[in-house]
Amino acid sequence: MTPRNAPSSPAAPHTGAGLAVAVHDLTVAYRDKPVLWDVDLEVPPGLLLAVVGPNGAGKSTLLKAILGLVPAAAGTVLIHGEPLARARDRIGYVPQRGSVDWDFPTSALDVVTMGTYRRLGWVRRPGRREREDALAALERVGMAAFADRQISQLSGGQQQRVFLARALVQDTDVTFMDEPFQGVDAVTERAIVDLLKDLRARGRTVVVVHHDLQTVPDYFDWVMLLNVRRIASGPVAEVFTEENLRLTYGGRLGFLERKADPTPGPGGHDDPTASHFGRIRP
């Protein structure tokens, strides 16, 4: 299966030269079920890319595989032309909010300070400079007033902003965010959007797993449509088409059906992608 509407690569994907993120032939399997199959992704620097796809499409797994948090069965990943081991200072990560125990005995400031641990190196403790940097990052997401709060006493949106601040403290070239908009309030959504634009203005690259198709054109420059395989990736204007969305979501695209056609469209259960991969991860 060849990816449709794939953009002509701005650089050779094998060397990753000139690309912020270059993923080649990435395959991930949990036990013997493939979760990602032969995925390519090329992200030029300085843009905001959304990764969209149905539940179980492997969006979070794609991020984790790129970051080396789940083992890849095959494939290569280059960050600014370098393998992960040499690019660790250039990548930040905002995991899903549900991935940690928020009852952990620690404060918002403490969590953000964790973003300085890499530059501190082994054994050394965070000092005044690290705390000031962490506080400045909290300020940028409008959370400075909550610095000393125990993290379970924050709302979901505030917790999300704490995670964002932790990635900001790292001040990296490329940041990966896993569903930052999931279940947050309007204030937090605004704060995240402003932050994304600010990062782009400073030439940073952000790859965001996103679930709200409606806001993709507003918030992002590029989009990747993923359902175990890459369906398409490129500028939103070129790639974010109804045809590609049907290929990605199969018959489950309620958002388009409400807008266009109340009956299941041609991409319903007969769609080869949907039936094939629906079996792989129901």
Partner 1 sequence: MTWGTVAAFWSDYTLRTVAAGAAVIGATAGVLGVFAQLRRQSLLGDAVSHAALPGIALVFLLTGSKAPAALVAGAAVTGWLGALCVTGIVRSSRTSADSALGLVLSVFFGTGLMLLTWIQRRPDASQAGLDRFLFGQAATLLTADVVTMAALGGGAVLVLVLFWKEFKLLSFDPGYAALLGLPVRRLDILLTGLLVMAVVAGLQAVGVVLMSAMLVAPAAAARQWTDRLAPMAVLAAAFGAAAGVAGAVASSLAARTPTGPAVVLAATVIVLFSLVFSPRRGLLAGAWRRWRRRRDLRLHGVLLDLFALAGQHGDPTAAPHAVAVLRAMAAGGSVRRSLRELTDRGWAAHAGGDLWTITAAGRGEAERFLADRAADGQREAAP
> Pick from 53, 48, 66, 96: which is nearest to 193 by CA?
48
Nearer to partner 1 among residue 102 and residue 280 (C-beta):
102
Return d(Cα 188, Cα 210) in angstroms, integer: 15
Does residue 117 interact with partner 1 by CB under 8 A? yes
- Hey, is 212 helix, strand or coil? coil
219 belongs to the binding site for partner 1 (CB under 8 A): no
| SS3 of 3-57 | CCCCCCCCCCCCCCCCCCEEEEEEEEEECCEEEEEEEEEEECCCCEEEEECCCCC
Is 30 a residue that touches partner 1 (CB under 8 A)?
Answer: no
- Subset of residues 125 to 184 that bind partner 1, contact rule: CB under 8 A: 125-126, 150, 166
Single out the residue of 55, 128, 186, 263 in contact with partner 1 (rule: CB under 8 A). Answer: 186
Q: Contact with partner 1 (CB under 8 A): which of 187, 197, 237, 272?
A: 187
206 φ/ψ angles, rounded to the nearest 5 degrees? -130, 125
Could you tell me if 143 and 168 are in contact, meaning their C-beta atoms sit under 8 angstroms apart?
no
Binding string, 40-79, against partner 1, x = CB under 8 A?
------------------------x--xxx----------
The interface region with partner 1, picked from 39-47, 112-120, 241-249, 257-265 by CB under 8 A, is 112-120
55 vs 148, beta carbon nearer partner 1: 148
Q: Which helix (H) or strand (E) holds 94?
A: strand 91-94
The number of angstroms, rounded, from the C-alpha of 168 to the middle of its chain's C-alpha atoms is 15
> Of 88 and 211, which has the nearer Cβ to partner 1?
88
Residue 193 found at the interface with partner 1 (CB under 8 A): no
The residues that touch partner 1, with contacts defined as CB under 8 A, are 64, 67-69, 88, 91, 93, 95, 99-101, 104-107, 110-111, 114, 117-118, 120, 122-123, 125-126, 150, 166, 185-187, 189
